[in-house]
Structure 1
C-alpha cells in the first residue's frame, strides 16, 4: 500500500509542543487550540536549575525564577529544593546558549532547543518529569526526533542524538531517535494536518481520558450513531 505524501503547505508552522500534545491524543490538540496557554511552573523551575551556575544558591535561583515567572506559586519553592537536591551529584550539561528557536522548512515544524554548547557541540533537552527506568519516555523520543530534524536543517549538522536532563530525578541520558520515532513523528504531523483542515480526530487506541482536562468537551463531541433507529 502506497502512503500519500504529506502536504507541505498545510504542515507549515507546527510547533513541536503541538506535536507532543497530539501524540498523547489528537483531540487534546484539537481542543487546546481554543484554550489559554499558561507556562508550566515545573518547567520554569527545572530550566533554571539546569542553567544555574555552580556557585548559585537556592535563594538566588528562586529569585531568578520569580523574575522570569512573577505569578509562580510559592508552593513551587519546595519543588525547587527537591530538584536541587536530586542534581547535587549530577554534573549539569554545559551550555553557551539557551532557548534557541530551531525549525525545519522541509517538514514545516519548529521548536525551542533548551541548551547548546558551542565548545562540545552538544545539544540538550531539559525535562521537568522524573526519568523512566531505562532510556527516555516515548514523548521525549518524539521531541528528540523533531528537534534533531530542525537542528540538522538549521545548522547543517548531521547528529545522531542529544542529551535529556530529567531534573527531578537527577538523571541525564543520551538518546538517539530510531526510525520508528521519526515514522511516528510524520504520522502525528499528518493528524495535525487533518485537524487544521477542520476534521474532528478519532481517539487513539489507548487515550489518556482519566487525566485529560478536555474529557467533558470530548464526550460532548462524541460521534453520534444511528443505533437508536433499530431499537424496538
Structure 2
C-alpha cells in the first residue's frame, strides 16, 4: 500500500498468496497467441538465464566486476553454460554509460484483487516512488514493445490498487541495448489487459480460443496441434 503523505510503498502492496489469480506472464503469453497459452499453461517453466543476467547487471553496484557477477550467476543458475558469459559481457558494456535506475527494493510481488492478477515488479525506489521494469530484449527504435506496454499497464493496475497515489508510468530498462525508456500506458493498453484477463479466464475454464489474426505459427512448437477450425470446448480433446 502507498502512504499518501510519504509516497512510499508499505507492506499491504505485497502479495500474501501470489498463486491466487492470473500471472501477468500468462497475460503476455495470451497476448502473443491465446492458443499458445492454451497449450503452454500446464507446462512447468522457469525464468530465462538471460533475464537473470540482465537483472543482475541492472541491480549491480558500479564497482562490480564481470568475474564477481559471473560467480553470482553460478549461485543463481548452477547449470549455467560458459557461453552465457559473452551475454553478460555484452550487457555490461551496453550499460556502462546508461542511466541505470536506482532502487531500494527488488523482485516485489504485487497484485490486484479487482483485476485478479499478480506479477513481479523488478525495481522500486522508495525515495522517489520510481518503478522500473527490466527486460532482456533489445530496445525498439522508439518507445517500447507492445508486450512491454501491456506489462507496464498490468503492473500499474496492481500498484494503483495499493493506495490513492496514482503513478502514470514506469521506466523500462532494455539492458542488452543499454537504453532506458519511460512509458505511460494508454487507455488502449489497459483495455487490452482487461480483455486478455478475460481470455485467460475463459481458457482456464476450458475454452479452446480462436486463432488470432496474425498468429506466430511459423515459430510455434504447437503448430501441428493447432487446427484452423478446432472446436471451442476442451471436451473435444477427450473424445475417442
Q: What TM-score, normalized to structure 1?
A: 0.88
Could you tell me which residue of structure 2 aligns to residue 223 of structure 1?
Answer: 230
Q: Are residues 157 and 69 of structure 1, via their aligned partners in 2, closer, same or farther at CA, if it must alter by over 3 Å?
A: farther
Deviations 1:136-188 (A, max 9, x none): 00000000000001011124431100000000000000000000100111111
Matched, 1:55 2:63: yes
* Equivalent residue in structure 2 for 1:162, among 156, 170, 182: 170
Matched, 1:80 2:85: no
Matched, 1:195 2:207: no
Greater Cα offset, 210-219 or 53-62: 210-219
Cα distance in 1 for residues equivalent to 2:205 and 2:120: 25
Structure 2 gap ranges (5+): 1-19, 232-240
Could you tell me which residue of structure 1 aligns to residue 159 of structure 2?
Answer: 151
Give the alignment's Cα RMSD to 1 decimal. Answer: 1.4
- How many equivalent pairs are there? 212
8 Å CA contact retained: 1:209, 1:215:
yes
Cα distance in 1 for residues equivalent to 2:163 and 2:100: 24
Deviations 1:118-144 (A, max 9, x none): 111100000000000000000000000
Q: CA deviation at 1:91?
A: 2.0
Q: Are residues 38 and 217 of structure 1, via their aligned partners in 2, closer, same or farther at CA, if it must alter by over 3 Å?
A: farther
Could you tell me which residue of structure 1 aligns to residue 39 of structure 2?
Answer: 31
Could you tell me which residue of structure 1 aligns to residue 140 of structure 2?
Answer: 132
Runs of 4+ more than 6 Å apart = none
8 Å CA contact retained: 1:102, 1:111:
yes
Could you tell me which residue of structure 1 aligns to residue 129 of structure 2?
Answer: 121
Structure 1 gap ranges (5+): 1-11, 225-232
Matched, 1:210 2:228: no
8 Å CA contact retained: 1:151, 1:157:
no
8 Å CA contact retained: 1:42, 1:128:
yes
